[in-house]
Amino acid sequence: MGTVGKALELLDLFTRVRPQLGLSDVSRHSGVNKATCHRLMTELQAYGLVEQVEPSREYRIGPAVLRLAALREETVPYKSIVQPVLVEATERTGESAHVSMLVGGRVELISFAYAQRHGTRVILHDAETLPFHATSSGLVILAHSGPALQKEVLGRPLPALTPQTETDPARIRARLETIRVQGYAESVGAFENDVHSFAAPVFASQGDCIAALAIAAPATRVTPALRDEMIAAALKGADDLTLKWGGRPPERAAPATIDAY
């Protein structure tokens, strides 16, 4: 990896739950020595990609990122298109909805919406990168991706995040074909013990799966009727986004039950 790649990789260390990092933190989380981290962060700071906060001298994302994000949204308006679709899904189901995108080989949460029908709901603020193997979003994207990504994801260690997390690559691989034919993925307690979710794929103009729209609810609240409504809302929302982003929704059979985990 070149110098530019190493520097940009450090930006991935910043998250909603870790918005500011000192130099020692950057070195520890990246595995790069402090002298190199200081040089790379200084270069990022020179271009406004990070800035230092007084008096702690910790780093945070800089204003140049906002300019780039605004330019991206102006030319490819993902988030402004996503939000109304998410709101429609939450109003229909009474549950939380979110969209995640395939970015650099990772499943990145880009937007979410909450319904006001229940006091207890699935909260997504702290989730940024979702695991492929343990979420309905990750599974449905992986199922509709090419063999290279599937090989890469299933070839690395798959941590058990809960007792319900499937970590056997062979069993996950077998499940992906069912998900692809079915058109949606279901996950019960695999990422968080009490969360039941459904996700459907979003396609770009060239037919590539680039994102997933998911509906998530507390597992104890998912009745057969709500389950059907969540599946329908995920499929409709994903198809709506596909059309709005210039893609074509796939032809699919009527939803049928698949085994969840």
Residue 68's pLDDT is: 83
Least Cα distance to 27 among 43, 50, 4, 6 occurs for 6
At residue 126, the pLDDT reads: 52
Q: For the chain, which residues score pLDDT lower than 50?
A: 255-261
How do the domains of the chain map onto residue ranges? 3-67, 77-244
Q: Report pLDDT for 119.
A: 74
pLDDT for the residue numbered 127? 56
The backbone torsions φ and ψ at residue 256, rounded to the nearest 5 degrees and listed phi first, read -130, 165
pLDDT at 257 (0 to 100): 44
Roughly how many angstroms between the first and final C-alpha of the chain, as a whole number? 37
Measured CA to CA, the distance from residue 46 to residue 107 in angstroms comes to 29
- Cis peptide before 77, with omega less than 30 degrees from 0? no
Q: Output the six-digit token pair for 229.
A: 């409504």
Architecture of domain 77-244: 2-Layer Sandwich (3.30)
DSSP 12-55: TT--SS---B-HHHHHHHHT--HHHHHHHHHHHHHTTSEEEETT
Q: What tokens does 26 get?
A: 């950057």
**pLDDT reported for residue 76:** 63
Residue whose pair of structure tokens reads 């190493």 in the numeric block? 6
β-pairing, 185-188 vs 195-203, is: antiparallel
Residues 6+ apart with CB under 8 A from 236: 89
Number of H helices, E strands in the chain: 9, 8
pLDDT at 260: 46
Where b means 16+ CB within 10 Å and e means fewer, 10-42 reads beeebeeeeeebebeebbeebebeeebbeebbe
Q: Position of tokens 């499937």?
A: 166
Residue-wise pLDDT tens digits, 75-85: 666 778 899 99
User: What would the two tokens of residue 152 be?
Assistant: 């890469």
pTM for this entry: 0.73
pLDDT of residue 69: 75
Residue 261: per-residue pLDDT: 40
- Supply the pLDDT for residue 92: 96
Predicted local confidence at residue 253, as pLDDT: 54
> Any bridge partners for residue 61, and if so which?
50
CATH 1.10.10.10 fits 3-67, yes or no: yes
